[in-house]
A and B are shown apart, each in its own frame.
Chain A
Amino acid sequence: MKRLVALLLFVALAAPAAATAHATLKSEFPGFQQELQTSPKFVQLHFDQVVQLPVIDVIDIHGVNHALKAVANGTNVRARVRPLPAGAYTIRWHALSSDGHVVSGVWTFGLRVKAPPPTEAYGASGPTGTENLVRWVYFVALATMIGALGFRLLVLRGLEVPPALEKRMLLLAFIGVLGVLEVGIAAFLLRCEDVLQLPFGKFFYGDLSPISGGTRYGKAFIAMTLGFALVSAFVYLAWLLERTLLLAPALVLSLAFTGGLSLSGHDATDPGSSWKSELADWVHISAVSLWIGGLVALVVAVFPAAPGLRREVLARFSRFATVLVALVLAAGTYLAIVRLPAFHDLWRNGYGQVLLVKICLVAVAVAWGGVHKFFPRARVFRSIAGEMAVGLAVLLVAAILTDSKPPPQPVPSSSTSRSAYAGAVGASSWRK
């Protein structure tokens, strides 16, 4: 928790410490996640400027270092390596940059086996409780952003929206997108910190490029950060120019870039994944965000700011939510079938147990919503706030589920290609 607070403080306070001058790794041998056929005789790093006092470790899956002493020669650093058996290896390096900062990094390669992603490098720890918490806050922010945008454009369409409600909807969308950006950065840094395994001070000079450019998770982080930054600009311009129409590209971009989660998660990387599981995951996340985010918009914006519209808006949202819940259930059922090889995995496997809790919470939220739809009452504010709270609990369980490892799929007898790290790193499934 202290790490998280320190990270968030740093994100908030550290403005442009444009650390332009410390050494940057420009090329390396073996390459990031390269699969070699013969044992490398040396490891070489090439920097953009002179470095000193280098250290290079070539570590196998048992933690044994196979590298000899590293030697710096101008912008190059080289360490000879003992003959290696086939397997997956992690390279960790440190060097003193000419500006006095110690720069560090990690990457992986495979010798006659597929190289694991750097998120599964030797020494990298799996997702922690802090990461679960951060992911939950991220999901809440995502739902708030998408829910507010969807609510304004789809549920309130054609209604005379009072200025106070308009302001609250825009504020909600802006808080959501700001949260997605900030928490997304914090989550990425926490993941990188787990991989680099450096003390806090040194971590800030750690090279993140193997993770940001060499993993699905890193690429998704880049795309989503850029997309959501654009969303923030559209929401701001919609407020400044008083053009609700500008929220349309914001919603489209939000939904499109939410796909980054689906393209880097279990449903894209685990065995049994396909474009269908990726699509189903995207539909699932989008529909849940519109549904729970819509509940947040009802409680935080519509009820306090537009009392005259409550009945009409509630009826509209009920119809909208019915479609969303149908999508959530259809996509969720499909994904459960893909992820769980056997029905009894639901109660025998840890992933299945978390999924079971999520299913129960969704059932409560759906039943609660059904009461609002079929038994409308004049005073429903507290009841809808309760439904929203259950929705937020669903997101918490979803965050834990995302960081959990699904049960292994039955391996077809003809399948021989697998990572040498499979099963060696515990539950670090977040992500390739």
Chain B
Amino acid sequence: MEPPSEMVHWFFGTGVLMLGLLMLAEVIVGREVWAQRHWRIYLWPGLAFGLGVLMWPVMTFFTNSAIHMVAHGAWAQALMAMGGAELGLAKGKLKSRWWKLATPVGIGVSGAAFLIHEQNGWYFARSAFLHHLVGWTLIGASVVALTLVFRPRSLAMQTAFALAVIALSVMLFSDRDLAPVFGHLSPLAGAPHR
């Protein structure tokens, strides 16, 4: 019944890739041009919110470990909170710019949890390598997102944030030895799993 876990990660990798590409498109054309079609401003926040809703079945059906369940539940809520706050701001329902903090806080907590959870070194195993890589990428992305709260028009920061999200999607695509990206990382990263 349940699809293999790598399928689920690739599905979410696709969603995150679209998220990053939408952000990048907004950076390339500029916010004014992007907002000329009003529905566009809801695109990435709506997608993030939707990905959060879709994360709940992952949390409930893949219960092979408690940490897996809790992690995906928390990620579902982080995505819904990020998307929800950005949608509220775009719609004008939320006025305070401090709501923008939902994104850096959600991403930062996610990254910190990756790093705290992984007790082994980078090259102990493939999973350890990915946990470290994803963790530090998310920490970096949260700093960029935090900078955007205070300097929302910084083109460099907007680009960096969009690229970090795209990089995250690549990591999701490469989460197993069967992955379409990278394959097995290195003999140093443990034996192939399958």
**Which residues from chain A sit less than 8 Å from chain B, CB to CB?**
10-22, 24-25, 48-50, 98-100, 103, 181, 185, 189, 192, 203-209, 211-213, 221-222, 225-226, 229-230, 232-233, 236, 239-240
Instruction: Kindly list chain B residues whose C-beta atoms are within 8 Å of the C-beta of A181.
Output: 73, 77
Find out whether the CB atom of B63 lies under 8 angstroms from the CB atom of A208. Answer: yes
Find out whether the CB atom of A17 lies under 8 angstroms from the CB atom of B93. Answer: no
We find that the number of chain B residues with CB closer than 8 angstroms to chain A is: 57
The docked-state distance in angstroms from the alpha carbon of A229 to that of B53 is 7
Find out whether the CB atom of A22 lies under 8 angstroms from the CB atom of B63. Answer: no
Find out whether the CB atom of A50 lies under 8 angstroms from the CB atom of B117. Answer: no
Find out whether the CB atom of B70 lies under 8 angstroms from the CB atom of A189. Answer: yes
**Which residues from chain B sit less than 8 Å from chain A, CB to CB?**
5, 9, 49, 53, 56-57, 59-61, 63-78, 80, 84, 87-88, 91, 93, 106, 109-114, 116-120, 124-128, 130-131, 134, 175-176, 190-191, 193-194
Instruction: Kindly list chain A residues whose C-beta atoms are within 8 Å of the C-beta of B80.
Output: 232-233, 236
Interface SS of B by simple majority: helix
Find out whether the CB atom of B110 lies under 8 angstroms from the CB atom of A15. Answer: yes
Known: A98-B190, A99-B124. A205 touches B65 (CB 8 A): yes
B143 to A: closest C-beta gap in Å: 16
- Which chain B residue shows the least CB distance to A221? B60
Instruction: Kindly list chain B residues whose C-beta atoms are within 8 Å of the C-beta of A14.
Output: 67, 70-71, 74, 113, 116-117
A132 to B: closest C-beta gap in Å: 21
Find out whether the CB atom of A11 lies under 8 angstroms from the CB atom of B73. Answer: yes
The CB with the most chain A CB atoms within 10 A, among B64, B69, B73, B84, is that of: B64
Find out whether the CB atom of A207 lies under 8 angstroms from the CB atom of B71. Answer: no
Find out whether the CB atom of A100 lies under 8 angstroms from the CB atom of B65. Answer: no
Instruction: Kindly list chain A residues whose C-beta atoms are within 8 Å of the C-beta of B9.
Output: 18, 20
The docked-state distance in angstroms from the alpha carbon of A19 to that of B127 is 8
Find out whether the CB atom of A16 lies under 8 angstroms from the CB atom of B110. Answer: yes
- Which chain A residue shows the least CB distance to B171? A18
Instruction: Kindly list chain B residues whose C-beta atoms are within 8 Å of the C-beta of A50.
Output: 191, 193
The docked-state distance in angstroms from the alpha carbon of A296 to that of B124 is 53
B114 to A: closest C-beta gap in Å: 6
Known: A206-B66, A225-B60. A19 touches B93 (CB 8 A): no
Find out whether the CB atom of A103 lies under 8 angstroms from the CB atom of B110. Answer: no
The docked-state distance in angstroms from the alpha carbon of A25 to that of B65 is 10
- Which chain B residue shows the least CB distance to A14? B113
B79 to A: closest C-beta gap in Å: 9
Known A-B contacts: A19-B117, A205-B67. Give 13 more (CB < 8 A): A14-B67, A14-B116, A15-B106, A15-B111, A16-B74, A22-B127, A24-B64, A48-B193, A50-B193, A98-B125, A189-B69, A189-B70, A233-B80
Find out whether the CB atom of A21 lies under 8 angstroms from the CB atom of B114. Answer: no
A174 to B: closest C-beta gap in Å: 10
